[in-house]
Structure 1
């Protein structure tokens, strides 16, 4: 307090001058419409800039919340799409559909990756969804860019995912586009452990015309992945003549993964039981 009194005493003339200047400006602004309009305009400009900066900071701090809302909205849309698709497929099969009970084949469950491996030969991920969330083994794990892996082991609250970057993985895939005769070409996807961005497409028929940049998607020929999930694009066909292998660059950056969706196929058990019966 003593310091404040000392400061006022020392600079009283300067402070008095500034006070008079401020009063003069206020009188000028209040008594002259031109000056008043200019002052209001300048004040609005300054306050607008301050509020804009404040909003930018607030928006940045709220990105996490906004991201969660978008994920939930995307989850609802994915489940609605699969439900509507089941209706369409049923309508194509039956002429009278009023009394038919539609059965949705796929359900999407959102989650977050808590651990990610990509530098080993046998890579695994951990996600924060488990048995209590309806997760079991052998469920597809994807994100908005495409395939990530398959659930391998499940606890009550977490699940381990066998990454697409795992030497033991084989994924049934196909070329996204048909050939000139209207046919799809199928193959299997594996990883040679050399590059975390590149996987190998094997067993594509020799007659298939493949170009750099062609899109590879899941084939739907398994009880795990639905048909048409993105995987990657053709990067090189140099090895095709020697070993019928095509190099595919993943759409996902496997070093930077966070939000995921787990796909539950309600028909999986029925399909597996039928396939086992056929094998017997």
Structure 2
């Protein structure tokens, strides 16, 4: 207490000046509208800046939650989109039946992704407990990713489209000419579409999608665009370079697609012999 009294006595001149200055400024702002408005405006600006910065910080740390919400919404929207065009006809024969099957979709996160080898794989978080099984298709928001090869309770191993052992039915979107999508083990951004007949009107920039002639991927899942092509005159088929929509080196979220009528389709395509 004594130290406080000594401090006040020692600095009494400065303290009196500060008190009188504060009183004078207060009276000035109260008496003059212009000065008062400037003070309020400055206070509002400072408060707004602090609140704005706080809101930006909150939004930054809330991004993970918001991304999860959007991911779940995308899962629902993609399920609806996949099945929207599949309900026009209820039953057809042979391969046409497959394009009318219904698909379910499950979201999953990429744990690891290999793309710099000849035969690449992904590991995703989601396994048997999530009803993920072998031979299910995997896509992202931009296109195809691969096919589930093996599963455990918590995780799944996905054979990537960047794998020389992978072959996927694909087509020219605008003409419905079909071919087989493969990878030569070189550029992770470029795949090859082979066995497209010479009658197909191939052009650079044309979109390539899944053909739908399989039990893994539905029809018209995006793959990429034609970046180059060459006609082999000897066999009469094109060899087409396809630039992927997907950046296979940067995958975080994917969707696992299940054909809910796969077993029924298998029975139709492979009837038991008497």
Report whether the alignment pairs 1:71 with 2:71: yes
2:262 aligned residue (245, 250, 268): 268
Number of residue-to-residue matches in the alignment = 264
Which among 234, 246, 249 is matched to residue 252 of structure 1?
246
Displacement of 1:279 in angstroms is 9.4
Quote the Cα distance in structure 2 between the aligned partners of 1:49 and 1:223.
Answer: 56
SS at match of 2:75: helix
* Aligned pairs (5 A) from 1:24-173: 24-90=24-90, 105-173=102-170
**Distance apart, 1:15 and its partner CA:** 5.3
Question: 1:186-224: per-residue Cα shift (whole Å, max 9, x none)?
Answer: 111000001111111101111211221111100000000
Structure 2 unaligned segments of length 5 or more: list them: 93-99
- Greater shift in the superposed pair: 250-259 or 32-41: 32-41
**Cα deviations by residue, 1:83-113 (Å, 9 ceiling, x for unpaired):** 55454444x99xxxxxxxxx97111100100
Change (3 A) 1:7 1:131: farther
SS at match of 1:172: strand
Classify the secondary structure of the residue corresponding to 2:269: helix
**Range that drifts further, 29-38 or 239-248:** 239-248
Is the contact made by 1:233 and 1:248 (CA closer than 8 Å) also made in structure 2?
yes
Task: Return the match for 1:230 from 209, 222, 237.
Answer: 222
User: What TM-score do you get using the length of structure 2 for normalisation?
Assistant: 0.86
Taking a change above 3 Å as real, the CA distance of residues 15 and 63 of structure 1, as seen in their structure-2 partners, is farther
Contact 1:167 1:191 in 2 (8 A): yes
In structure 1, stretches of 5+ residues that fail to align are: 94-102, 179-183
Alpha-carbon distance in structure 2 between the residues aligned to 1:249 and 1:39? 60
TM-score by length of 1: 0.84
How well do the aligned residues superpose, as a CA RMSD in angstroms? 2.9
1: CA distance between counterparts of 2:136 and 2:189? 23
Task: Return the alpha-carbon distance in structure 2 between the equivalents of residues 170 and 279 of structure 1.
Answer: 28
